[in-house]
Structure 1
Amino acid sequence: MNIDSTGASTQGSVQVRQFHEGDSVEELTYLLHRAYADHAAAGRVFFASYQSPEDTRYRLGKGECWVATNDDGLIGTVTVSAPHAMPTGYPAPVGAGSFWQLAVDPSQRGSGWGHRLLTLAESRIAALGSAHAVIDTSATATDLVAWYRRRGYAPIGTWRWDVTNYDSVVLAKDLPARSGTP
């Protein structure tokens, strides 16, 4: 990836940059719905599969949202926060960072953009001063849990969100010290 003075990076015809005030929250919400549709079809009601544009805007306000775009529009996104304010009782190391709304358009599956956005999230969490990244996902999404485990995440507990219909497995990863943007 090449990085310009604004912190945006490019790889081929795809640009990765922070979500801007003038970007469409509705388009981002639609990307999330498409990306999480398979989970919803399997009976796992991830919040991102049904959240409203207002919910998306609220969640964007809790961290840094990064988007991957090409000539056709949004192809991926992730939002990061570090250190992240975890709910009381949430099993996470003190000062850990987190990310959410990690999504890749279904047309881009298998392209490596999920891994690239995960790497970006980890880099930003470390740059913001956290030594650990924490994520949770449905315990029944075994393919997704395995994907995170292959990338160095280990289960550290469970959690139940009131906006989902499943128990979550909480996964954590120690991060090497990093700095800067992608």
Structure 2
Amino acid sequence: MLLTAAVDIDDVVASGAGAETAPGAGGFVLRRFRDGDSVEELTALLHRAYADHAAAGRVFFASYQSPEDTRHRLGKGECWVATWDGVPVGTVTVSAPHSTPSGYPAPEGAGSFWQLAVDPARRGSGLGRRLLALAEARIAALGSDHVVIDTSAQAAELVGWYRRRGYAPIGAWRWDVTNYDSVVLAKDLARRAA
């Protein structure tokens, strides 16, 4: 089933913390994760979304993290969820400015996002692009001119997806919770808005 509901990202960004889009066709809603939402359901969504990477030998943290890990990661930013008829089908967590470890190649004051995930049953629907647009818009609204992320250098299709959306490699990093070297990608959000 394709995602057909129109999500007005500008309305969500302008409203910030309490924002929620009205349900569209089929019940699609984009909103902040809130008290009462299931961290276990969100963790299961992350596991499903990252299972293909794990099967290819790229062990993304989101492919095996525990609900406690998910809760911890949610506490570091704004978590947004996309639901379809009340069921989580996508998510992204954003932070700006975002603190990074010493030596991590990131522009000063950059924002970041992580746990960008779309349920495999919703791939090809445009939901990933909508979540990415939301993440970028929220990072800009929180005051950062740049966004920096990282992903497996081995995930050529994912790196290509980001590059087609204006991200450029700026360095490399190795996390101790993964089994791969990461490529660090950045995008100038001020240039995008100009």
Residue in 2 aligned with 1:36? 50
- For structure 2, the 5+ residue unaligned runs are 1-6
* Mapped partners of 1:175, 1:72: distance in 2: 32
Matched letter for residue 9 of structure 1: T
Alignment correspondent of 1:57: 71
1:105 alignment partner, one of 119, 144, 159: 119
Provide runs of 4+ in structure 1 moved above 2 Å: 1-6, 10-13
| Matched position secondary structure for 1:9 | coil
Could you say what the CA RMSD is over the residues aligned between the two structures, in angstroms? 1.5
User: Residues of 1 paired with 2:157 and 2:191: CA distance?
Assistant: 29
Does residue 172 in structure 1 map to residue 186 in structure 2? yes
Asked whether 1:7 is paired with 2:52, we answer no
Pick aligned residue for 1:153 from 151, 167, 174 = 167
**TM-score scaled to structure 1, two decimals?**
0.94
**Count of equivalent residues:** 178
Kindly provide the CA deviation profile for residues 128-165 of structure 1, in whole angstroms up to 9, marking residues without a partner as x.
00000111000000000000000000000000000000
Who is 1:94 aligned against? 108
Equivalent residues in 2 for 1:63-78, closer than 5 Å? 63-71=77-85, 73-78=87-92
Compute the displacement of 1:70 (Å): 1.1
Secondary structure at the counterpart of residue 190 of structure 2: coil
The alignment-based identity, stated in percent, is: 75
- The structure carrying a bigger strand percent of its residues is 1
Residue type of the partner of 1:93?
P
Shift of 1:7: 1.2
Whole-angstrom CA distance in 1 between matches of 2:179 and 2:160: 20
Amino acid at match of 1:96: A
2:59 aligned residue (39, 45, 49) = 45
Residue deviations 1:19-40, cap 9 Å, x none?
Answer: 0011000000000000000000
TM-score between the two structures when normalised by the length of structure 2: 0.88
